[in-house]
Amino acid sequence: MVKGALNNFRVIDLSSYIAGPFCARLFGDYGADVVKVEHPGSGDMARSFGPFFKDDPHPEKSLLFLYLNYNKRGITLDLDNSSGRKLFKELIKSADALIEDFAPGYLEERGLGYDSLAAVNPELVMTSITPFGQTGPYKNYPGSHIVYEALGGVMYTSGASDRAPLAHGHPQSLYIGGVSASQSTSAALFARNQIGSGQHVDVSLTEVVAAHHTGPTTRYAYTGEIERRAPHNEAGSPKGGAHFEGVIPVKDGFVGATFQRGAGRRGTLADYLRLVGRPDLIKPEYEEPLPGPVTDEQDQLLLSVLKNWGKYEYFTTAASESWVAAVVQNSEDLANNPHLHERGFYTEMQHPVVGKIQIPGEIFRLPESSFKLRYPTPLLGQHNSEVYGGDLGYSREDLIRLRQLGAV
């Protein structure tokens, strides 16, 4: 059996919602032993977030939680309980990394800050994911996806210039934050070979967003120009006429259409009309390079032609001829996309409550140590006996006592 690239690592996931759990799951996807720690009774806050499987608001049926927490073992532990804190330090002894997303100072107040944990395990890498980082004047401020987009600069350049800045519908900042945290944690684990110890990794979700939005800040640094939102048109595109070279309607949805043919090459209007099967509409001047955006007349001509195309018919025709094109996929399109299925992007998980469900799986490929679905998403406290009993050596009677004390 091919071993995962990270099978020698143990990661304690003390985080909740999206960024931290996604970070920890990426380790589990490639072989690490990831132990998810949840508060007894309530568990990760994501368990209360919909959508829910078959619209049943059950803590084991949150599709968000199911996606973010497979390939983990799950335990419960109360850090406000003295016995719980003792157990946590025992878990840390054998851990390589700890992922946490509490407010700065929360763990220190409970005697579980990095210095205290490093005294127990000097090789521990502790990654803290917070809205604004562990230092600075904003460090104690709460945050959310819309805050990170706003303060990270992305929102100011999103949307049309004659309207208010636009927030993205998907909490992309939290997933980017999870990927960035996994990358930085991996780097710190690698660095142990050089420095001989672990370290405290500080991830600010606002800075993660700002770091992925470097164009406007770089431009300002050199020119003093503040990049604005795109001029408004019905397609929401700053290019072309009122519609073309943006998101445009076809008979069964929407496509992204452009005159771009590969990197830096722009086709003519005549080239494009041949592509879409209407050479009869070509005028002599259409053979010349476009001097600028298409005119309103040309714009209406293109729209009248494309409205009869199917979205995938257009995409495969244009892309196969090296034109830049896209399909605006809805959820059903995405779930049934043949390219993603051929690539193995989706996998099936057999969950003890939900049953068999298709989930996105492998997001990058390591042929010699590939992704593997080893554990379905754990039920709340499902692996208490396995971790506390099998890994830490506690007896059944010990576990009963710890439950009575409220520690687990």
* Contact in structure between 11 and 178 (CB atoms under 8 Å): no
* Contact in structure between 315 and 328 (CB atoms under 8 Å): no
∠ CA 402-405-408, nearest 5°, is 50
Cα–Cα distance, 226 to 391 (Å, whole number): 56
∠ CA 148-149-154, nearest 5°, is 140
Give domain 10-212+341-404's CATH architecture. 3-Layer(aba) Sandwich (3.40)
The phi and psi torsions of 332 (rounded to 5 degrees) equal: -65, -45
Cα–Cα distance, 352 to 347 (Å, whole number): 16
Cα–Cα distance, 144 to 21 (Å, whole number): 16
Per domain, the residue ranges of the chain are 10-212+341-404, 247-328
Scanning the structure block, which residue is given the tokens 């010349």? 288
Helices (H), 105-231: 106-109, 114-120, 145-151, 172-195, 205-211, 214-223
* Contact in structure between 364 and 294 (CB atoms under 8 Å): no
Cα–Cα distance, 60 to 65 (Å, whole number): 8
The residue type at 335 = A
Q: Contacts by 290-299 with C-beta closer than 8 Å and gap 24+?
A: 290/259, 290/266, 293/239, 293/240, 293/241, 293/245, 294/240, 294/241, 294/244, 294/245, 294/269, 295/241, 296/241, 296/242, 298/241, 298/244, 298/269, 299/240, 299/241, 299/242, 299/243, 299/244
String of DSSP letters for 334-374: HHT-HHHHHTT-EEEEEETTTEEEEEE--SS--TTS-----
The residue type at 25 = R
Question: Tens digit of pLDDT per residue, the chain (408 long)?
Answer: 457 889 999 999 999 999 999 999 999 999 999 999 999 999 999 999 999 999 999 999 999 999 999 999 999 999 999 999 999 999 999 999 999 999 999 999 999 999 999 999 999 999 999 999 999 999 999 999 999 999 998 888 887 777 888 888 889 999 999 999 999 999 999 999 999 999 999 999 999 999 987 777 777 778 887 777 766 544 444 444 445 677 888 999 999 888 888 777 888 899 999 999 999 999 999 999 887 777 888 888 888 999 999 999 999 999 999 999 999 999 999 999 999 999 989 999 999 999 999 998 888 888 888 888 999 999 999 999 999 999 999 999 999 999 999 999
pTM: 0.90
